[in-house]
Amino acid sequence: MSSQKTYRIAVIPGDGTGPEVVNEGLKVFKALAAAESIPYDLTHYDLGGERYKKTGEILPESVLAELRTVDAIYLGAIGHPDVKPGILEKGLLLRLRFELDQYINLRPVKLYPNVPCPLKDKGPKDIDFVVVRENTEGLYTGAGGFMKKGTPDEVATQESINTRKGVERCLRYAFNYTKQRAKAKKLTLCGKTNVLTYAFDLWERAFYEVAKDYPDVKTDYAHVDATCMWMVKNPEWFDVIVTDNIFGDIITDLGAMIQGGMGIAAGGNINPEGVSMFEPIGGSAPKYTGQNVINPLAAICAVGMMIETLGKGKAGKRVESAVVKLLESGKMKSLDAGKMGMSTSEIGDWIAANI
Ligand code: IPM
Ligand code: MN
């Protein structure tokens, strides 16, 4: 027998319902690892609002140093009702994305069978695309500042930083992804070239230059406002969408809604050359904490993405197949917290048993 690599996974359950959904995701991970004989080693980190409240620590250097050495990070949710908005988001979630240079935020938008869709006359065959969101630049770098803060003459600026290198590596990832996905082999750049004539000028030039290296990928462009319109009106037109950080943030919440809600939307913060981090894209939903009513499917799907990205594509697909099987069975009455007709842990158990 050949010796197999042991996958070292850091687990950050985080705040609110994060720990509950991570618990279910790990059930599924363990079941799959057993079925596929994948050796693993899990290390839990208690980062999040509670630790911050107790110790003032958000992301200690020693923890960050350890996280740089793992094979992947599995994250629940960040955000605590007693902590001022922005502190944990910037100090933990965004800091991890930046420090680990996870320059891609990969967010599939897929409507699974039997999932109610708010769009009239649209079904699973119409809603199946992927958003490649740039994850380390744009409006998220913190560039800008105040002048004369608190006075009537106050000025606040928030700058969008777009580097040729950062944009180009994101575009190359998106072109490669589109080519390999082999659906319509169409990549749509989502921007705002009619108003943001510096930032998206750079994006557009880089897009068509990189496109020359991918003659088999069709290129397409839509302004961000029009992208929102088409996502509702004709979502079947999309295959892969590439966009900047803030537009990606916004359109993927819309994407989550057309695929059945935050309960099923998963994402990967990817550094193709380094440590990637996988998470359900919804928040910490504090009001549902500890009630066993939150939907763990997004966290479970994030496990599938994690395993795929670790190079176990076939094993990762088994997660999606089990999720589809559960949805097709009609056992779940809804994907929304509190209305599922199954508890959080029952769903995790079911998927783990049906992997
Ligand atoms: C997301 C979230 C984060 C973002 C917040 C919590 C900082 O909305 O992952 O989409 O804006 O990226
Ligand atoms: Mn968001």
DSSP letter for each residue of 147-190: ESTTSTT-EEEEPPB--HHHHHHHHHHHHHHHHHH-SS-EEEEE
Of 94, 98, 279, which is best to mutate to test ligand 1, by the most ligand atoms within 8 angstroms of its C-beta? 94
What are the residues whose beta carbons fall under 8 Å from the beta carbon of 3, sequence distance 6 or more?
A: none
Question: Ligand 1: which residue has its CA nearest to atom 10?
Answer: 249
| Ligand 2 centroid distance, CA of 209 (Å) | 29
Q: Which residues fall within 8 angstroms of residue 1, CB to CB, at 6 or more apart?
A: none
* Low-confidence spans in the chain with pLDDT less than 70: 1-3
Q: What pLDDT does residue 40 have?
A: 97
Which amino acids are annotated catalytic?
A: 140, 192, 225, 249, 253
What is the rounded distance in angstroms from the CA atom of residue 96 to the CA atom of residue 36?
A: 30
- Contact in structure between 303 and 29 (CB atoms under 8 Å): yes
Q: What is the pLDDT of residue 4?
A: 83
Q: Name the residue among 62, 28, 30, 29 with its Cα closest to residue 47.
A: 62
- Residue with CA nearest ligand 1 atom 11: 249
- Ligand 1: residue whose CA is nearest its atom 5: 89
pLDDT of residue 203: 99
**pTM of the model as a whole:** 0.97
As a residue count, the chain comes to 355
* CB contact set of 271 (below 8 Å; sequence gap of 6+): 100, 101, 102, 103, 104
Q: Which of 249, 254, 278, 281 should be mutated for ligand 1, with most atoms under 8 A from CB?
A: 249
Residue 119 DSSP one-character state: S
- Rg, Å, the chain Cα set: 20
Q: How far does residue 90's CA lie from ligand 1's centre (Å)?
A: 9
Ligand with the closest atom to the CA of 133: 1
Three-state SS annotation for 30-80: HHHHHHCCCCEEEEECCCCHHHHHHHCCCCCHHHHHHHCCCCEEEEEECCC
What separation in angstroms does the CA of 87 have from each of 45, 57, 149, 282, 292? Answer: 18, 11, 19, 18, 27
| Centroid of ligand 2 to alpha carbon of 309 (angstroms) | 21
pLDDT of res. 2: 53
Cα 354 to middle of ligand 2, angstroms: 31
The atom of ligand 1 lying closest to the CA of 252 is 10
**Which amino acids bring their CB within 6 angstroms of ligand 1?**
89, 93-94, 249, 281
First CA to last CA distance, the chain = 24
| HSE (side-chain half, CA atoms, 13 Å) at 17 | 29
Q: Which of 15, 144, 152, 143 is nearest to 85 (CA)?
A: 15
Domains of the chain: 1-112+263-355 (3.40.718.10), 117-130+140-259 (3.40.718.10)
The token duo for 350 is 């079911």
